[in-house]
Amino acid sequence: MIYLDNAATSFPKPEAVYLALDRFARQSLANPGRAGHKMALAAEHALDDGRHRLNRFFNGKWPERFVFTLNGTDALNMAFKGVLKRGDHVITTNLEHNSVSRPLVAMEKAGLITLTRVLADAGGTVDPAAFRQAITPNTKLIAVTHGSNVLGTVQPIAEIGRVAKEADLVFLVDAAQTAGVIPIDIQALNIDLLAVPGHKSLLGPTGTGFLYVAPRIQLGPWREGGTGGDSSTPTQPAEFPYFLEGGTPNVLGIAGLSAGLQYVETEGLAKIHQHEVDLTERLWKRLDEIGGIEVFGHRDMTRRVGTLSFRCEALAAPEIGGILDQAFDIAIRPGLHCAPYIHKAVGSYPDGLVRVSPGPFNTSADIDRIADALKEILT
């Protein structure tokens, strides 16, 4: 299988991740914070180590403000439903994944919030000035994807963060497509809430993620339950991260996430990003040669991640995806990519687009193979 669906989840993982998972599962897989024996302490250390690594990598304020979650969706729900109150106004974009859109639309339909969507331009980029113009007296939150999972375009979150700071608004960034390939400095970018899955470009296992919560942000508890360290209080302990981490965490997955993050740090973001966009540009050039294919998003590779979406009038995206899988053993993602608003905006709804997303372990030969397959299918 040639795997080119890294925007959904990265594969393969670095060998160090597999080794870390196996070693931890065999030696240290106890319940963290629930007992004083060696295995429980080792499990707690894995959590602490993960938080310290994340705090250093993303330049957070304190390690304990990194709350481990099930995935990016869990982190986003925790943020929205913890920070928003009745009557609040939210500004977001039409680039968003359903992990952002659905919770917000559900709250809007329930009459709890009002919602404004800033529209991306033809190249797939939002204008920071449009956020300033959309602010009302009731605006509480700006929620933006850092990188489009459909178009691959990286958004100007530094400028949007300045708009949020000037207006004293909460600024939330969904970094599902960028964390691990694009530098993210939480403090420099004025990010209050950062939601990240661990299984994409951080190269960890599925079932992992985190929400960073800036010290100035007050959230309601997402779930209540055991925390291990404080069993006496009748309600969830106010101390972070336990305030938002009720129940036994996925400590095995977090051990794997730490190993993935260490790999990314060792390789370097610039190297990984350049490799992925070089492969993207290579494919784009091959598609140009085939002809009859429309690629979406701007072509400035310095403002993209390694995700390329296209369509061909000769064959619908789901059919192309099925043929690549069954006849050529190539994995890509056709369809709407859980982001229907941007597909409607670019005119690819309801069939969607073919999305190809190389990762750090793909090669030029992989790109040539899919290009040859597409040429065979479409010409």
Which residues are marked as active site? 338
H or E stretch covering 113: strand 113-118
Instruction: Judge whether 354 and 309 are in contact, CB under 8 Å.
Output: yes
CA–CA dist 203, 265 (Å, integer): 11
H or E stretch covering 366: helix 364-378
H or E stretch covering 163: helix 157-166
- For residue 151, give the nearest of 342, 340, 311, 332 by alpha carbon: 342
CB atoms near residue 39 (< 10 Å): 14
Q: What is the DSSP string of 14-57?
A: PHHHHHHHHHHHHHT-S-TTS--SHHHHHHHHHHHHHHHHHHHH
- Tokens standing for 159? 């400028």
SS3 label, residue 141: strand
CA–CA dist 3, 331 (Å, integer): 5
Gyration radius of the chain over CA positions: 21
- Tokens standing for 13? 């993982």
Pairing of strands 88-93, 170-174: unpaired
- For residue 189, give the nearest of 166, 216, 161, 217 by alpha carbon: 161
Helices (H), strands (E): how many in the chain? 11, 13
CA–CA dist 113, 87 (Å, integer): 5
| Residue 212 exposure: Cα atoms within 13 Å on the Cβ side | 32
- For residue 340, give the nearest of 66, 101, 84, 21 by alpha carbon: 101
193 bridge partner residues: 172, 213
Q: Verify cis geometry, omega within 30 degrees of 0, for the bond prior to 360.
A: no
